[in-house]
Amino acid sequence: MLLDCSNALGATSNIDLELKERAKRRGLRMPGLFDAMVLAVAHVIGAKLITGDEHFKGRPEVIWVGD
């Protein structure tokens, strides 16, 4: 499967802003750009991301394994 880079880039900037706003509201450290890139690629290709990272908690493309 070839990833459409333009879709991933657009999604990355939107997700980066969203993750940073959510982190600020929740009192978490600021997520890095790489967090947004990983989540954007999962979103664009329709994959699930398995994680315990608080930044991703509650996202529809995330399978949460924390707590």
pTM: 0.80
For residue 56, give the amino acid letter: F
Cβ–Cβ < 8 Å for 7, 44: yes
**How many domains, the chain?**
1
Instruction: Quote the domain boundaries for residue 41.
Output: 5-64
pLDDT in tens, 20-66: 999 999 999 999 999 999 999 898 889 999 999 999 999 999 999 98
16, 8, 43, 2: CA torsion to nearest 10: -160
CA distance 18 to 16: 5
Q: Is 48 helix (H, G, I), strand (E, B) or coil?
A: coil
